[in-house]
Amino acid sequence: SYPIDVAAIREDFPILDRKVGGDFTVPGEGENDDLPLVYLDNAATSQTPRQVVDAIVDYYYGYNSNVHRGIHHLSQEASVAYENAHDRVAEFVNADGREEIVFTKNTTEAINLVAYAWGLEELGPGDTVVLTEMEHHASLVTWQQIAKKTGASVEYIRVDDEGRLDMEHAKELIDDSVKMVSVVHVSNTLGTINPVAELADMAHEVGAYIFVDGAQSVPTRPVDVKDIDADFFAFSGHKMLGPTGIGVLYGKEEILEDTSPYLYGGEMIRRVTYEESTWEDLPWKFEAGTPVIEQGIALHAAIDYLDDIGMENVQKHEELLAEYAYDRLDEFDDIEIYGPPGDDRGGLVAFNLDGVHAHDLSSILNDHAVAVRAGDHCTQPLHDKLGAAASTRASFYIYNTYEEIDKLVDAVDDARQLFA
C-alpha cells in the first residue's frame, strides 16, 4: 500500500500510457516490444501532469503578455499571475515573500547567479569555499572556477564509505577563512540526505554563508529554508512536475538587497541615464529581460498539485520505494549499490552490475521499457572516488510503484543472463 493514491495520480500523466521498448526476444515468448513505459529517471527530470499543461495552455490562450504591468488588460493579468507565482513558491519553501524568490532558468543558473553576483565581488586570496565530495557539477564546477578567478581556494568535505558526510572533517574545514559553504541537500547519486541545518550553524559560527542545492530535496520532501537557516537555496521546476526553463534562487532578503545584479538590461532597472543606472526592487533586480512567465505560472500549478498530495506523503512514498528498490537490488552479490542503506536515503538508487558497463545495462533496461540514467550524473569526481566510471541510477516519484521496481530488477536479471 502507498501513502498516496498512485493509481489516481497516474491518470494525470498521459505519458505513462506510452508503450516503448526495443526489439528483443524473450525466451519462449519470441519478439517483444511495445511494452508499457517504466519511467524511473525522475532525478533527471520528472513527468508533467495535465494540470500543469492546462495552466500553460490557459496562459497562452487567455492572457499571454509581457509583464511588469504594461498598460493593458492582458499585461495586468499576466503580471499578477507572474508575481503570484513568486508568492506561491515563497510559501512552498517558507521564504518571507517574493522579495526572496528569484526565478532563473534552472538550479545551475541560480548557483551561477550567486557565484558571479556575490562570489566574484566578495571572494579573494586567503578566502575558502567549502564544498563536499558529492557535489553536482552545477555547484562544484561553478565554485571551483569562481575560486580560480578570485584566488580563493576550495576544500571538499569528505564522504565516508557509506556515502555520508564526515562531519568531523567538516568541523576541521569550516574555519575563519571560509566565506561560503555550498552543499547538496539530497545527493543525486548517493541518495544521501545531508545535515544542512547543522552545516548552516557551522558556517554561521565562522561568519560564512551557506548555499543549499535543493534540486533533489524540494521536489521530494517538505523544505523550510528558515528552519535550515540557509542564506541561499536553489531548485528546478522540471524536477517537481513543472516545465523546463525555470529554476528558483531563494536568498535572504538582506543579503540579496546588498548584492548587485550581474545580468543587466530591461525590467531590472528603475532609472537609466547615459551616465548611470539604478535597480528595481527585489526580486526583479535579478530578473533581467523578459522573464520565464509561462514557466512561473506552470510552476505555480505544479506546486498546487504537490501540495494537494502533501509533501510529507510524497517523502513517505519516496522512502518506501527507495527502501524497496535498495532491498531488492541488495539481494544480489554481483550488484554494488552506492550510498547509505535503503532506510536512510532519498528516492533514488545508483548501482553497478559486476562485469556490465552501466551504459550496456541501461540499454538492456531500455529494451525492457525501463528508463533509468546511466553515466556520471554530473558527479564525475564522486565517481572517481567510488572507483566507478559510471553508474546506473533508478529514481522514483509519486507515480511509481513496487511493480515497476520489480520490472527493473527482472530486467537487470535479464542483463545478467545476457552478459554471463
Ligand X SMILES: Cc1ncc(COP(=O)(O)O)c(CN[C@@H]2CONC2=O)c1O
Indicate whether 240 belongs to the interface with ligand X (CB under 6 A). no
Q: For residue 359, give Cα distances in angstroms to 21, 249, 252, 276.
A: 16, 33, 42, 54
The rounded distance, in Å, linking the Cα atoms of 217 and 250 is: 14
Q: Which three cell numbers stand for residue 274?
A: 547615459
Indicate whether 140 belongs to the interface with ligand X (CB under 6 A). no
Identify the active-site residue in 53, 378, 388, 389.
Answer: 378
The rounded distance, in Å, linking the Cα atoms of 366 and 112 is: 34
Interface residue with ligand X, options 106, 142, 192, 352 (CB under 6 A): 106
Q: For residue 327, give Cα distances in angstroms to 206, 337, 341.
A: 41, 10, 9
Indicate whether 44 belongs to the interface with ligand X (CB under 6 A). yes
Interface residue with ligand X, options 55, 67, 215, 370 (CB under 6 A): 215
The rounded distance, in Å, linking the Cα atoms of 130 and 33 is: 49
Name the burial class of residue 252, with classes exposed (0-12), middle (13-18) and buried (19+) by CB atoms within 10 angstroms of its CB.
buried
39 backbone φψ class: left, alpha, beta (φ>0; ψ -120 to 50)? beta
Interface residue with ligand X, options 86, 88, 98, 136 (CB under 6 A): 136
Minimum CB distance to ligand X smaller for 78 or for 248: 248
Those residues whose C-beta lies under 8 Å from the C-beta of residue 96, and which sit 6 or more positions away, are: 90, 226, 253
Q: Which three cell numbers stand for residue 137?
A: 557539477
Indicate whether 159 belongs to the interface with ligand X (CB under 6 A). no
Stretch that binds ligand X, among 222-230, 267-275, 353-361, 373-381 (CB under 6 A): 373-381
**Count of residues that interact with ligand X, criterion CB under 6 A:** 17
Indicate whether 107 belongs to the interface with ligand X (CB under 6 A). yes
Indicate whether 43 belongs to the interface with ligand X (CB under 6 A). yes
Those residues whose C-beta lies under 8 Å from the C-beta of residue 328, and which sit 6 or more positions away, are: 405, 406, 409
Interface residue with ligand X, options 46, 108, 142, 192 (CB under 6 A): 108
* 378 noted as active-site residue: yes
Give the 3-state secondary structure of residue 315.
helix
Stretch that binds ligand X, among 105-113, 153-161, 223-231, 314-322 (CB under 6 A): 105-113
Q: How far apart are the first and last CA of the chain?
A: 35
Interface residue with ligand X, options 181, 184, 320, 371 (CB under 6 A): 184
Minimum CB distance to ligand X smaller for 141 or for 311: 141
Indicate whether 197 belongs to the interface with ligand X (CB under 6 A). no
Nearest-approach distance from CB 382 to ligand X, in angstroms: 11
Q: Which residues bind ligand X (CB under 6 A)?
A: 43-44, 106-108, 136, 138, 184, 188, 213, 215-216, 236, 247, 373, 377-378
Please give the positions annotated as active site: 378
